[in-house]
Amino acid sequence: MMTSVGILGLGMSLPSHVRKNDWWPAEVVDGWAQRRMPMPTGAMETMTAGMQSVISAMSRQAVDPFQGAVLRHVLTDETLLDLEEAAARIAIERAGIHAEEIDVVLTCTTPTEYQLTNSACALHHRLGLPTACFALHTDGAQHAFLLQLTIAQAMISGGQARAALLVQSCGVSQLLDYSDSISPIFGDGATAVVIGQVRAGRGILASTHRTDGKHPNTLIASAPGKSWYQEGRAVLHMADPVGMVDILLRTVDLSKESIDGALARSGHQPRDVDVLAMHQGTPWLRELVQEHTGLEHAHAIDTFGLTAHLFGAFVPSNLVAAERAGVLGEDDLVVIAGGGNGMSYGATVVRWGGA
């Protein structure tokens, strides 16, 4: 019989410094309108309903230079490793397990402090975890958590591990050009998720993962026009605006494909879903996905306005927010969905509850 694997504990840590929209000088904000990403073009009658809804949402949002973000936490005295450690300790405590039971550590640190090293080892050391531990730094951008979840589930189900610690962090404030119009939509923070064995019928029921490398370099960090290791300061920038528009246009349809596939694999219908937790790279995405997947009745928490974009930490932060709001309950059917630069995307269906 296959071991049931589920989420045992969640943790989150944000920098203490909060940056509001009035931090940006008015003259800088006024200049963004002239350099705004182009709107999707094409005959509306040839587009899907999802595409049409995206164009309408983008048109409405275009009047806001901050794209729905109101607050974002920004690193000052803390490091990403500090945030990861704090989030991990919270998740481990909430999971009710001992650190020595953790046999797998998967991290997604954006950006890593150094190249050509396994940054998961630094967190492993901070936490004092056993040496008999599988530690790996993963990537996957905004899709990282769902990828980590599938890897760790396989290891636990296969008897190679008892519990896994999945950590995601975002410190892109260190990569921003604050004169760029994309700079207000990113914040810093770290999340952590502990997964392990749960009783039959609980935990991860099904997952889907998809990959589309048509536009691999939309939002990247490098010296503009160069690789990261070439001369010049590496900054977060949109290297392929046309590709980004294409991806945004298809976001709702891709999310629906992922969610429908995961629900079908789990043997459930949209009407069975109690909670939706998903990547919210834009303030309108969650609402449109719910509308087009038949999940309007499911509880959901919007967090983009209060944290801005957190890359790989975004989806777990949404679960944390739902837990804090009392939205997540025992036996709730939860759909977790998201996608990331590259591009990969997917969804996971979870029956909430522990051992």
The mean per-residue pLDDT over the stretch 177-192 comes to 96
Residue 105 lies in a domain: no
Highest mean pLDDT among 123-127, 217-221, 239-243: 123-127
What's the pLDDT tens digit per position in 29-87? 999 977 665 666 665 667 899 999 999 999 998 899 999 999 999 999 999 999 999 99
Tokens of 147: 């990828």
State mean pLDDT over 160-166. Answer: 97
Within-domain flag for 271 = yes
Task: Tell me if 208 is assigned to some domain.
Answer: yes
Q: What is the pLDDT of residue 40?
A: 63
- Domain annotation covers residue 120: no
Nearest to residue 127, comparing CAs of 144, 146, 113, 107? Answer: 107
With a pLDDT cut of 70, the percent of the chain lying above it is 96
How many other CB atoms are there within 10 angstroms of residue 66's CB atom? 20
pLDDT band at 208 (very low <50, low <70, confident <90, very high): very high
Q: Is the pLDDT of residue 1 over 70?
A: no
Confidence at residue 33, expressed as pLDDT on a 0 to 100 scale:
79
- The C-alpha angle with vertex 63 and arms to 47 and 59, in degrees rounded to 5, equals 5
Provide the 3-class DSSP secondary structure of residue 248. Answer: helix
Asked if the structure places residue 320 within a domain, the reply is: yes
Each residue of 133-150: b (16+ CB within 10 Å) or e? bbbebbbbbbbbbbbbbb
Is 46 among the domain residues? no
Token reading at 85: 């450690």
342 part of a folded domain? yes
Helix (H, G, I), strand (E, B) or coil at 28: helix
pTM over 0.75, yes/no: yes
Hey, which residues does 68 pair with through a beta bridge? none
Q: How many domains does the chain have?
A: 1
Tell me, yes or no, whether 226 lies in a domain.
yes
Domain that holds residue 334: 203-351
Which pLDDT value is given to residue 37? 59
pLDDT of residue 44: 62
* Residue of 304, 277, 341, 291 lying closest to 10 (CA atoms): 277
What CATH number is given to the structural domain containing 301?
3.40.47.10
